[in-house]
Amino acid sequence: MAEKQTEKDGQCVLPLSRIRTIMKSSPDVGSISHEALFLTGKATEMFVKNLATISREKSKDKMNVNYKDLAEVVNSDDVLQFLQDIIPRKIKAREYLEKLEDEDEDSS
C-alpha cells in the first residue's frame, strides 16, 4: 500500500455530514457518536472498493466496472442480498431480451 494511505487512515474521504444525514433518515435513530460516524465512513469506503474489486473479478472484463457485473455480484452473493432491490432485475432482463432480439435479427 502507498505511504499516503496511512496518513489517511485516521480520516475519511467521504463527507461525514452527508453520511450522518443518511444515517439519521433511518427510523428511530437518535444520536450518533463521532466514532460511529467515522467507522461508518470507513466501512463505506471499504464497501465501495470491495464492490469494484469483486465485480471485476467475476467479470470477463477485468479492466472496467460495468453495471451488469455489479448486478451479477449482488444477485449471487448472500451478504449483498440487501442490494437486490436496488439493482433491479428488470433492467437486466430487458437487456437480455434486447440481446436475444438482436441475435434473432442477425441470424435471419
Closer Cβ to another protein, 18 or 97, answer by number: 18
Closest CA to 66 of 45, 100, 95, 99: 95
What lies within 8 Å, CB to CB, of 103 at 6+ separation is: none
Please identify which residue in 3, 4, 60, 79 interacts with another protein, judged by CB under 8 A.
Answer: 79
Among residue numbers 4 through 63, which ones bind another protein (CB under 8 A)?
Answer: 6, 9-11, 13-40, 42-53, 55-56, 62-63
**Least distance (Å) between residue 36 CB and another protein:** 5
Asked if 90 interacts with another protein (CB under 8 A), we say no
Q: Looking at this protein, which amino acid is placed at residue 14? A: L
- Write b or e for each residue in 46-70: b if 16 or more Cβ atoms lie within 10 A of its Cβ, otherwise e: eeeeebeebbbeebeeeeeeeebbb
Residues in contact with another protein by CB under 8 A are 6, 9-11, 13-40, 42-53, 55-56, 62-67, 69-71, 74, 78-79, 82-83, 86-87
